[in-house]
Amino acid sequence: MAAYNIAVISGDGIGVEIVREARRALDAAAAKEGFSLKYNEFLMGGAAIDAVGVPLPDETLEGAKNADAVLFGAIGGTKWDNLPRHLRPESGLLALRKGLDAFANLRPVQVFDALIDASTLKADVVRGVDLLVVRELVGGIYFGEPKGREGGKAFNTMVYTEREVERIAHIAFKAALKRRRKVCSVDKANVLDVSQLWRETVSRVAQEYPTVELSHMYVDNAAMQLVRAPKQFDVIVTGNLFGDILSDEASMISGSIGLLPSSSQGVRGGIFEPIHGSAPDIAGQGIANPLATILSAAMLCEHALGEIGAARRIENAVRTALEQGYRTPDIASYGAVKRCSTEEMGAVVVKLINESK
């Protein structure tokens, strides 16, 4: 029987609640498919700052490196907002991504038919949307040097090397080959040198994928097109900051940021996390939507473990739960629904996985 090691980082805020449900879904899918999972829990973010004084303890990075995959919840909270930047919870996550060289962040945006009316956009606009944001995750302005503050001035540097752009472009084109064979590269090449290099490099890599259609779009236009006509997109490839912003925007096509999973592939394994944050305002109330994390667990099975059957069981269970009307509060104000808590939603998903053929 295959056995996998999963590093679990619940983090802060709703992290603990949503990761708990994702683990239950993973266990149910593993039992069905006949593999086993061993979880090792590690601290990161505010929880780590409180316990040991740093946002990413060495032990956590080591544990993540030695695992087959990392399942992560969310980090951050007002309690730690006033710390210097390198000691903030977010720095822990950035250092983890960097430490694992998890450069390829995949953020699929799908619209569940049952939730068409949950989107703030018109049904006709969102029905059938199926796009993938491929976000470069360990470069760009998030990590560029120099950065810092000097007197009344502060600065960050947006920097990309050809090599960094090439490797994320290959990920995007390969993903497109398995989809509708369209890549839209998003940049700001009318203003930024770094975007000119980005554009040239993506165009060069495109020559290796003659069956994939490449287009380029400025990020401001892309932000507008995403709400105007999201169906035009198949794969969007972009840098770290633009990808961060556009993926939050794109999540509202699906109805709630509580629905969007992500995978960040690196040297091995990868990090699997919802795209949303730690939502301190609702932490501990048992009302957070666990589906983004549960769907991230499905991505973990597929991308890190190669357990496609388990991934499909989890995804199908989520779809069915929504079709049956189960709704956490973030998606509950639409139509006749069965309002449920974080735990109840998790339980429904587990039950559906257990019943799956």
Residues that bind ligand IPM (CB under 6 A): 90, 93-94, 244, 275, 277
Could you identify the residue written with the tokens 């316990």? 51
Measuring CA to CA, how many Å separate 318 from each of 114, 116, 259, 304, 326?
Answer: 11, 15, 10, 20, 10
List the single partner that 346 binds among Mg ion, ligand IPM, none, CB under 5 to 8 Å by kind: none
Q: Could you give the CA distance from residue 136 to residue 139 in angstroms, rounded to a whole number?
A: 7
CB of 97 to ligand IPM, least distance (A): 8
Given 4, 187, 188, 330, the catalytic residue: 188
Q: Which residue has the tokens 């357990």?
A: 307
55 or 346: CB nearest Mg ion: 55
Q: Which is nearer to ligand IPM, 50 or 208 (CB)?
A: 50
With CB cut-offs between 5 and 8 Å by kind, which of Mg ion, ligand IPM, none does residue 93 bind?
ligand IPM
Strand pairing report for 148-150 and 153-155:
antiparallel
CB of 29 or CB of 134, closer to ligand IPM: 134
Report which residue's Cβ sits closest to ligand IPM: 90
Q: How far is CA 345 from the centre of its chain?
A: 20
Mode of pairing for the β-strands spanning 213-218 and 3-11: unpaired
Q: Give 296 or 320: the residue with its C-beta nearer to ligand IPM.
A: 296
Give the nearest distance from C-beta 311 to ligand IPM in angstroms.
Answer: 21
Distance of closest approach, residue 209 Cβ to ligand IPM, in angstroms: 27
Return the range that interacts with Mg ion (CB under 5 A); candidates 86-94, 114-122, 227-235, 237-245: 237-245
Task: Name the helix (H) or strand (E) containing 196.
Answer: helix 193-206
Phi and psi torsions of 190, nearest 5°:
-80, -10
Residue closer to ligand IPM, measured from CB, 139 or 277: 277
Query: Closer to ligand IPM at the Cβ: 77 or 346?
Result: 77
Q: C-beta of 174: minimal distance to ligand IPM in Å?
A: 22
Partners of 186 in beta bridges: 217, 238
* 357 Cβ contact list (under 8 Å, min separation 6): none
Residue 220 annotated among the catalytic residues of the structure: yes
Q: Which of 68, 136, 244, 315 binds Mg ion (CB under 5 A)?
A: 244
Least Å distance, CB 93 to ligand IPM, is 5
Q: How far apart are CA 185 and CA 355, in angstroms?
A: 42
List the beta bridge partners of residue 133: 107, 236
Is 244 assigned a catalytic role? yes
122 catalytic? Reply is no
CB 102, CB 204: distance < 8 Å: no
Alpha helices in 53-161 (DSSP H): 58-66, 89-99, 123-126
At its nearest, how many Å lie between Mg ion and the CB of residue 248?
5
DSSP state of 300: I
Which range binds Mg ion by CB under 5 A, 49-57, 241-249, 250-258, 301-309? 241-249
- Residues found near Mg ion in the complex (CB under 5 A): 244
Residues with catalytic function: 142, 188, 220, 244, 248
